[in-house]
Amino acid sequence: MSSTAFDALRARRSHSKVTEDAPDHKELERLLSAMSSIADHSGLRPWRIIELRGDARRRLGEGLAHAAAQAARKESGSGTGLADPKDIEKYVSKATRAPLVLAIIVSPKPSHKVPLWEQEAVASGVAHALGLLLHEAGWGSIWRTGPLTRTKAVRKAHGIKKPEYLLGWLYVGGIPDRDKVSKPRKPLDVSHHLSSL
Ligand SMILES: Cc1cc2nc3c(=O)[nH]c(=O)nc-3n(C[C@H](O)[C@H](O)[C@H](O)COP(=O)(O)O)c2cc1C
């Protein structure tokens, strides 16, 4: 595969459709061990990842369904705020689109020096780097979020409590043969993104 970080980044792409293969826990540990060198103000390591496989993914789908029902009740002022079974299955099927779902959690640490936005930037860096490393290792992934990501029901489904919150999920699996191709990219007009003072 790629031999430099530049090549790896140029080749990186997301995969929204993946097969039922997935990196095992050991491989994931190896990839995550590289996060010891992520830029991290004061080295707070303000992030963690929850691995969801098999039926654990159902809890994510159920959490999303309940969050959607609660949001609908808030908006309309009617309804029970409890998801009906049809909607639960709809969200469960979304949550089980990949054999492995990695919930990316911002886990803020008390600090006088490092505000929350900097800690979120570290967790975001971890998610980007992990997607890159997964791709380099031959796995497909896509970072997904949505308006329900930071709801109470979704937090509860993951067993996380404030001040922790979610940055979304990396859906991970094998890359289907037909998608083992590079993705055409619109060239970046660097002059719009790099200037001098
Ligand atoms: C924070 C974040 C949240 C995202 N949420 C979604 C999402 O909910 N659904 C989706 O289809 N893509 C989402 N994306 C975009 C995909 O992860 C992916 O980047 C996009 O499909 C383009 O593919 P590419 O990465 O190969 O360029 C998100 C990306 C980021 C960085």
What confidence tier does 53 reach under pLDDT thresholds 50, 70, 90? very high
Instruction: Give the whole-number percent of the chain exceeding pLDDT 70.
Output: 99
Number of compact structural domains in the chain: 1
CA distance 171 to 96: 9
Q: What are phi and psi of 80, to 5 degrees?
A: -95, -15
What confidence tier does 81 reach under pLDDT thresholds 50, 70, 90? confident
What pLDDT does 157 receive? Answer: 97
13 lines ligand 1 (CB under 6 A): yes
Instruction: Point out the ligand 1 atom lying closest to the alpha carbon of residue 143.
Output: 17
| 153 touches 70 (CB < 8 A) | yes
Q: Tens digit of pLDDT for each residue in 56-76?
A: 999 999 999 999 999 988 888
Domain containing residue 136: CATH number:
3.40.109.10
Domain span including residue 123: 5-52+97-176
For atom 12 of ligand 1, the residue with the nearest CA is 144
Distance from the alpha carbon of residue 144 to the mean position of ligand 1, in angstroms: 6
Instruction: Point out the ligand 1 atom lying closest to the alpha carbon of residue 145.
Output: 8
Q: Tens digit of pLDDT for each residue in 100-126?
A: 999 999 999 999 999 999 999 999 999
Is 102 domain-assigned?
Answer: yes
CA distance 148 to 156: 12
146 lines ligand 1 (CB under 6 A): yes
